[in-house]
Amino acid sequence: MIRLSNVFKVFFPDTPNEVCALQNINLHIRPGDFITVIGSNGAGKSTLLKVISGEEMVDEGSIIIAGRDVTACPEHLRAADLGKIAQNPLSGTAAEMTIEENLALAYLRGKKRGLGLAVTGNRRKYFQEVLAETGLGLEKRLQTPVGTLSGGQRQALALVMATLALPKLLLLDEHTAALDPQAAQQVMETTACLVKAKSLTTLMITHNLEQALSYGNRLIMMHQGRIVLDIAQEEKSLLSVPQLLKRFTQASGAVFADDRALLENGGNLFTSIPSVNNVRDKI
């Protein structure tokens, strides 16, 4: 389905600020994979999603999506194959437009457009059906301006929009990080429901280690631009957070240090790491 081969990405090359964000990344994403991605600060997680989507171009290597080499394709030429949700709930929807108008835009994505109505009676019925699956009651508020929704509701709507056209790959870049815990849990449940119901191939970055273990059939850990662990479902289901951190240290030779992960997991994460001072030195 999706294959990255020998991918390198360097920012600010040949300057004192040079950073090798991705180093020799080789990744095969199989149809139906739901991969969670975690890693230490500056590991290259977001850059990985950006080179797949075309927001950033690779310096070396190749990217294949559904049998098509998209390595040199800009972002807009990959958009029809990809669905993407960013961290900011405000970025995936148009605030001034209604819920049904936002959904109509997503529905028509990649299709030929004429002068007909974007929201028809049949489409409105379909929108109600897909929104009902989220359990948020949005199917009863189709004429509501999206700007009046809560962050969690907007992110759930963005998820429905991103998956409406059945993308070949769904990219989730910390899509629950800006939400309160209750809303984040609700959005994750919606995510899992949509991914399963539509058999979507998914790549999800998260700073929540419990979330990374609970969702998906594969877990990837990154460090300094490299993939240091690729754990299958059978092994992942048996791991606790402390065991996962131990595996990371064994594979990378470093202590896991991620600011947001430390905050989200609180004291539980600190007690699972041998040297708290070492972690703080790396932050």
pLDDT in tens, 20-75: 999 999 999 999 999 999 998 889 999 999 999 999 999 999 999 999 999 999 99
Quote the pLDDT of residue 156.
92
Kind and range of the H or E run holding 261:
helix 259-271
Quote the pLDDT of residue 133.
84
Quote the pLDDT of residue 261.
64
Of 253, 246, 250, nearest to 269 by C-alpha is: 246
Of 184, 188, 148, 178, nearest to 86 by C-alpha is: 178
Cα–Cα separations (whole angstroms), residue 176 to 51, 67, 104, 165 = 21, 31, 24, 22
Q: 180: Cβ–Cβ under 8 A, 6 or more apart, which residues?
A: 152
Quote the pLDDT of residue 190.
92
Higher pLDDT, 101 or 273: 101
- State the first-to-last Cα distance of the chain, in angstroms, to the nearest integer: 36
Q: What are the tens digits of pLDDT across the range 201-252?
A: 999 999 999 999 999 999 999 999 999 999 999 999 999 999 999 999 999 8
Quote the pLDDT of residue 21.
96
Quote the pLDDT of residue 283.
30
* SS3 label, residue 174: coil
Given a cut of 70, whether residue 124 has pLDDT beyond it is yes
Q: 227: Cβ–Cβ under 8 A, 6 or more apart, which residues?
A: 25, 26, 27, 220, 221
Average pLDDT of the residues of the chain: 87
pLDDT-based confidence at 259, cuts 50/70/90?
low
Quote the pLDDT of residue 82.
93
Given a cut of 70, whether residue 270 has pLDDT beyond it is no
CA 73, 78, 79, 83 torsion-angle sign: negative
Q: What is the DSSP letter of 91?
A: S
Q: 60-64, 91-95, 120-124, 206-210 — which one is most confidently predicted on average? A: 60-64
CATH code reported for the domain at 2-263: 3.40.50.300
Given a cut of 60, whether residue 268 has pLDDT beyond it is no
Q: What is the mean pLDDT of residues 14-19?
A: 93
